[in-house]
């Protein structure tokens, strides 16, 4: 019998699969830790107008220039308005590079969202949401939900999982802040 339990740890959901029953010879219960769904959101207030922030987050082709761990973005398909609607991205997750084909949507000038169509991970959904605070200030909120699947989930655990979460979720608004305020 296989018993599965989950627990929330901050913004990371960790899953642990436990095989119930005696171990092969010593009576121990073997445990297999597996990374569960990872995700969360992070926000930053930016001293730049919403138009400047929108210009940056909507330009997916240049995202690898300012987002840590994002090694490449290739625009596969553009819409009638010239914006990327399908991109291939590669992220360096430290243990291996992870490729995704993402379908992108826009709600100008407040939201860019994406959903993985195919790739190394089981599921990826994310978005940037921009809020005009007035006085040329913008609040940027980054949200990312990932299900790595069993194979990759077994590789990313503990400290590696925390570091990956910090890079892929918590660090994004600060990276946008640096880029937008530098202009």
pLDDT at 96: 76
CATH architecture of 39-182: 2-Layer Sandwich (3.30)
Q: Which residues are 13's β-sheet partners?
A: 8
Strands (E), the chain: 2-9, 12-19, 31-46, 70-78, 84-92, 97-107, 111-119, 123-134, 137-147
Q: What is the pLDDT of residue 92?
A: 85
Distances in whole angstroms, Cα of residue 33 to Cα of each of 2, 5, 40, 77, 154:
13, 11, 21, 39, 7
Closest CA to 88 of 77, 79, 183: 77
Q: Any residues with CB less than 8 A from the CB of 153 and at least 6 apart, and which?
A: 15, 34, 35, 36
Predicted structure pTM score: 0.74
pLDDT per residue, tens digit, the chain (183 aa), is 223 222 333 333 333 333 334 444 444 444 333 345 678 899 999 999 999 999 999 999 999 999 988 999 999 999 999 999 999 999 887 777 889 999 999 999 999 999 999 998 889 999 999 999 999 999 999 999 988 776 555 555 554 555 554 556 678 999 999 999 996
Tell me if 108 sits within 8 A of 93, measured CB to CB: no
Question: CA 67 → CA 56, 63, 172, 173, distances in Å?
Answer: 11, 6, 7, 10
Question: What are the CA-CA distances from residue 83 to residues 24, 77, 123 (Å)?
Answer: 57, 9, 23
Domain residue limits, the chain: 39-182
């Amino acid at each position: 019998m296989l018993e599965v339990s989950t627990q929330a740890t901050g913004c990371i959901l960790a899953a642990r699969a436990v095989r119930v029953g005696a171990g092969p010879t010593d009576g121990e219960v073997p445990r297999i830790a597996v990374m569960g769904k990872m995700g969360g959101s992070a926000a930053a207030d930016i001293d730049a107008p919403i138009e400047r922030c929108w210009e940056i987050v909507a330009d997916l082709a240049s995202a690898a220039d300012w987002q840590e761990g994002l090694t490449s973005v290739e625009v596969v398909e553009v819409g009638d308005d010239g914006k990327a609607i399908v991109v291939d991205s590669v992220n360096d997750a430290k243990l291996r590079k992870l490729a995704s084909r993402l379908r992108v949507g826009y709600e100008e000038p407040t939201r860019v969202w994406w959903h993985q169509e195919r790739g190394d991970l089981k599921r990826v959904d994310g978005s940037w949401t921009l809020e005009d605070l007035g006085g040329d200030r913008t609040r940027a909120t980054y949200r990312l939900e990932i299900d790595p699947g069993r194979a990759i989930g077994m590789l990313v655990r503990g400290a590696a999982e925390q570091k990956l979460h910090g890079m892929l979720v918590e660090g994004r608004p600060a990276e946008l802040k640096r880029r937008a305020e530098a202009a």
